[in-house]
Amino acid sequence: APPAPASYEVVVLPGDGIGVEVTDAGVAVLRAVAEPLGLRFDLDFHQAGAGAYKETGVAIAETVTTAAGDADAILFGAMGLPDVRRDDGTEIAPQIDLRERFGLVAGVRPATLLPGIDPVLYAPKVDFVTVRESTEGLFAGRNDPPSGDPDVEHDRMTITRATSETLFEVSFSLAAARRRTGGPGRVTLFDKANVLKSQAFLRRIFDEVAERHPGIETERVYVDAGVMMMVREPERFDVVVMENMFGDIVSDLAAGITGGLGLAPSADIGRDHAVFQPCHGSAPDIAGRDLANPVGMILSVAMMLDWLGDRHDDARCLDAARRVRAAVDATLAAGTRTRDVGGTAGTTSFTEAVVAAL
Ligand code: ATP
Ligand code: MG
């Protein structure tokens, strides 16, 4: 592991819409938790996203991407606005460029019940993480040319050994890290190995990587049976990993189980880089009105602290992550909530309450 630097360099890309407001919240919490622990963060803010594209014609400048590549971590608000598109109609989404550029193959999304938030389902405990492969799978051929036959169209499922090994290594590390804080240490593969060759290959690579991690339990479940279990007994899952398209669907199901887009954090993790951002988008309908729920972003900051702590073997970062989660829990448990989850607090007053709890 690279040793802990004197000061962690974080490239911060607030982006568009409520991305800016929730990033302010995340940064306030990061500063508040770091200082008493003697942890130093060097925050390097840059403009990127739809606003940047409108002003400069470039969604993310090469200098910004380079700075992001050199940083210890990347913190990302939200990017894209419905009325800002390229000439070909595509949306501005630099997060996809970063994923490809830095090989961020593992899209990590925790699903956790939080105090004071009504769960959609009755479940005694929901505390699992979905890991979605984010660069290939059924999305691999999205830029393939049309078939040429007006009556047939194809998409292909591509699974590669290199990407799958990284994906599974991230998943097993995550299960090991979660076990240190009371998790069961289990990785579940959702696949369709009974039908698709690419999925049978994925399962073989999973089994190989599993052999290198004898301390972690594993299970292999067909994705269709898996989603039923996820609804009926979510408490059985710890880390659940799968191909891109399955992950796209299952991670939204998981977010639905725990209730509320504004609450959900995420990380895009590769071998040497990681981007942390809330699951939600730029939400232009509520932007600039102090209505955004900052919990997803604040918990993304906690994920960043965990990742840095594991990577650099830095107990102060792990401690900071614990403190941030505890402060969010305490704030919600005391009944302070934003409007999207039934409360009356604004983005800033909620954030002040979390900082006070710290
Ligand atoms: P994208 O296309 O960028 O992924 P989206 O269009 O799927 O995003 P969002 O922009 O994330 O969706 O938001 C959908 C709606 O959910 C918003 O219009 C907003 O009303 C609500 N929402 C999203 N995030 C939050 C938040 N942090 N706090 C409160 N409400 C939110
Ligand atoms: Mg949107």
SS3 for 131-150, per residue?
EEECCCECCCCCCCCCCCCC
C-alpha closest to that of 9 among 75, 56, 101: 75
Ligand 1 pocket test, candidate residues 16, 92, 280, most atoms within 8 A of CB: 280
* Residue identifier of the C-alpha nearest atom 4 of ligand 1: 281
- Cβ–ligand 1 contact at 282 (below 6 Å): yes
Answer yes or no: are the C-beta atoms of 265 and 296 closer than 8 Å: yes
* Residue identifier of the C-alpha nearest atom 25 of ligand 1: 262
The confidence score (pLDDT) of residue 181 equals 85
**Which ligand 1 atom is the nearest neighbour of the CA of 280?**
11
Q: Is the model's pTM score more than 0.90?
A: yes
C-alpha closest to that of 99 among 274, 300, 241: 274
The confidence score (pLDDT) of residue 125 equals 83
Q: What is the CA(347)–ligand 1 centre distance, in A? A: 14
- Cβ–ligand 1 contact at 293 (below 6 Å): yes
Q: What is the CA(232)–ligand 2 centre distance, in A? A: 30
The confidence score (pLDDT) of residue 74 equals 98
Q: What is the CA(293)–ligand 1 centre distance, in A? A: 10
Neighbours of ion ligand 2 (CB under 5 A): 281
C-alpha closest to that of 274 among 138, 95, 128: 95
- Cβ–ligand 1 contact at 281 (below 6 Å): yes
Q: At 242, list the tokens.
A: 């799968």
Return d(Cα 194, Cα 224) in angstroms, integer: 11
The confidence score (pLDDT) of residue 196 equals 97
Q: What is the CA(80)–ligand 2 centre distance, in A? A: 7
Ligand 1 pocket test, candidate residues 117, 261, 279, most atoms within 8 A of CB: 261
The confidence score (pLDDT) of residue 319 equals 97
- Cβ–ligand 1 contact at 292 (below 6 Å): yes
The confidence score (pLDDT) of residue 122 equals 67
- Cβ–ligand 1 contact at 286 (below 6 Å): yes
Q: At 203, list the tokens.
A: 């399962």
The confidence score (pLDDT) of residue 92 equals 86
106-112: strand order across its sheet: 41-45, 8-15, 73-78, 274-278, 265-269, 106-112, 127-133, 239-242, 186-191, 217-222
CA angle 211-214-215, nearest 5°?
150
Splitting the chain (358 residues) into consecutive groups of 10 residues, what average pLDDT does each group show? 89 98 98 96 97 94 97 96 86 87 96 85 84 94 90 95 97 94 95 98 98 97 96 94 96 85 94 95 96 98 96 96 98 96 96 98
- Cβ–ligand 1 contact at 98 (below 6 Å): no
DSSP string over 138-196:
TTTTTTSPP-S-TT------B--HHHHHHHHHHHHHHHHHHHHTT---EEEEEE-TTT-
Q: Please state, in angstroms and as integers, the Cα–Cα distance from residue 67 to each residue in 28, 131, 279, 304, 343, following that order.
A: 22, 26, 23, 17, 39
State the alpha helices, DSSP H only, in the chain.
Answer: 18-37, 50-56, 62-70, 94-102, 161-180, 197-211, 223-232, 244-258, 295-311, 315-333, 347-357
Q: Which sign, positive or negative, has the C-alpha torsion 243, 245, 246, 251?
A: positive
- Cβ–ligand 1 contact at 283 (below 6 Å): yes
Q: What is the CA(132)–ligand 2 centre distance, in A? A: 20
The confidence score (pLDDT) of residue 167 equals 98
Q: What is the CA(154)–ligand 1 centre distance, in A? A: 31
* Residue identifier of the C-alpha nearest atom 6 of ligand 1: 281
Tell me the ligand closest to 21's alpha carbon.
1
- Cβ–ligand 1 contact at 262 (below 6 Å): yes
The confidence score (pLDDT) of residue 329 equals 97
Return the number of other C-beta atoms located less than 10 Å from residue 119's C-beta. 14
